[in-house]
Amino acid sequence: MTETEEQNPLLDSLSQTILYADKLLEEVAENGGHSEKEVIIFALFRQLIEQVDGIFIGGDHNNLEVIRASVRNAFETNLAIEYIYQDPAQLTDRALSYKVGYINQDIEWFQMAIDERTLEPEVTEATLLTKKALLEAQLITPSLTHITNEWNTVKSALRRGIPKWYSLFGGPSTIFALAQRVNMENEYRTIYAGLSATAHGTTALTNATLEDATGRVLLWPLRDVDKTKEETPIILGRSFLLGMIAKLILNYHTHKAAEFAVFLDEWIEPTAS
């Protein structure tokens, strides 16, 4: 336990939740018997754990910018997970839609690099064309063909750009509409919208000011404990992971329910608001 964790029980609770979630995910993944759907879902779970770990690292080092960026990213991943699990009848198609969106995004990047000749010296155009062809081949495999057809239909209706994966099969077309669909509109307004500027680097000028008397530029401290006392990011990150853990236990590891209840009593209840 770090000194910051000792002084902040909520941060320590987040750390323990990260460790519990990571261990449980590894156990479930190693059990076997999974399908392509689980590969996608477990990848999202792992990404969420990593992003929430970023919240912990930012809090442990009193770095507000790291906390803000990590919360925003974790929120977006959590939206994806909640949307995939929202309707059991559409769970597989939504998970596969995420994969098709991911593949098409990579294809777009490869094509852009080829068209704009923005290649590293060691990367040849032939190499990118080969990788692009392999990705395109994945889109017409039996499990993805119907998703690809839907993706192409939605794309043809767009004026520009490519579809959001969650917009397929009548889904929402924007991240805000996605938040509304999974009843996280309030979280969007307070977390996602407020943190987007920070995540995209448009708040840099708030970190410096000119001292008129001397002409010196005053920079705010990189690590400032007073700026990182806000508990909301830690509580949100922890809640995202607790939701993920509940899904893992309910769908894959039901015998862990009693153990999880003990974990909640020991590490969550003492710091619950």
Residues facing 150 on adjacent strands: none
pTM for this predicted structure: 0.89
SS (H, E, C) 52-107: HHHHHHHHHCCCHHHHHHHHHHHHHHHHHHHHHHHCHHHHHHHHHHHHHHHHHHHH
The answer to whether 184 touches 79, Cβ cutoff 8 Å, is: yes
Instruction: Give the domain ranges of the chain.
Output: 3-271
Question: Which residue type sits at 12?
Answer: D
For residues 247, 252, 254 and 259, what is the CA-based torsion angle, rounded to 10 degrees? -70
Question: Which residue type sits at 84?
Answer: I
In this prediction, residue 49 carries a pLDDT of: 99
The string of pLDDT tens digits covering residues 60-96 is: 999 888 998 999 999 999 999 999 999 999 999 999 9
Residues composing the chain: 273
pLDDT tier at 26 (50, 70, 90 boundaries)? very high
In this prediction, residue 23 carries a pLDDT of: 98
The larger pLDDT score, comparing residue 204 to residue 272, is at 272
The string of pLDDT tens digits covering residues 186-237 is: 999 888 665 555 545 556 666 777 776 777 887 777 777 766 677 889 999 9
